[in-house]
Amino acid sequence: MWAQGEDGAESEGERGSSSEDERDIQCEILESQRDDAHQQLCDLEAVSSQLLKEMNVLEIQFHIERSCRESAEALAVKVTKENKVLKRASQMTTMMPLIPELPENWSAVTFDPQADPPEAEETLLLENQAKIAVSQLVTEEFTDMSQKLELEQGLRQHAEVFAHQV
C-alpha cells in the first residue's frame, strides 16, 4: 500500500518538475525574444538618430546654399545693371568727338538702367526661368527629404510601441 502511494507521489512530482522545466524554457524563449526586440529597437534608434543628424546637416546646407544663391542672384542683377550704365556711358564718351553739339548740361544727363533693349529683357527672362527651375529642384529635394524624415519617425514610433508591447 505504501508502495503505490509513493509511486503516485513520484509521478506527480515528475509532472511538476517537467511543468517547471517547460515554464523555464518558455521564460528563456520570451527573454531571448525580448532581448532581440530590444536590440532591434536600439539599432533603429541609432539609425534614426544618425538619419536625423544627417537631415539636419542637409537642411543647414540647403539653407546656406539657398542664401548664397539668392545673394549671388541679387549681386548679378546689380552688376548687370551697373555694367549697362557703364557701357552706355562708355559709348557716349567714344561718340563725343563725332557729335558736334553737346548739351551744355552734359553732367546732368543720366542714364536709365531700366531702359533695356529687348534682347536684354529676353536674357533676363531666360535667367529668371533658370532660377525658377533651380528653385523647383531644391524644393522637390527638400520635400523628398522631409517625407523620408516623416517615414523614419513613423518607423521609430512603431518600433517603440512594439518594444513596449514586448
pLDDT of 153 higher than 60: yes
**Who's near 122: CB < 8 A, 6+ residues apart?**
none
Phi, psi at 74, each rounded to 5°: -65, -45
**Inter-residue contact 112 to 120 (CB < 8 Å):** no
Confidence tier at 32 by pLDDT (50, 70, 90): very high
| pTM for this prediction | 0.38
Q: What are the pLDDT digits (tens) for 61-113?
A: 998 888 888 888 888 888 888 888 888 877 777 766 655 555 555 555 555 55
Q: What are the pLDDT digits (tens) for 43-67?
A: 999 999 999 999 999 999 998 888 8
DSSP 115-150: ---HHHHHHHHHHHHHHHHHHHHHHHHHHHHHHHHH
Longest CA pairwise span in the chain (Å): 147
Ranges of each domain in the chain: 15-58+118-165
CA separation for the pair 40, 22 (Å, rounded): 27
The length of the chain, given as a count of residues: 166
- Could you give the dihedral angle defined by the CA atoms of residues 26, 28, 34 and 38, in that order, rounded to the nearest 10 degrees? -170
Instruction: State the cell numbers at 40.
Output: 532591434
Residue 71: what pLDDT?
A: 85
Instruction: State the cell numbers at 74.
Output: 541679387
For residue 92, the one-letter residue type is: M
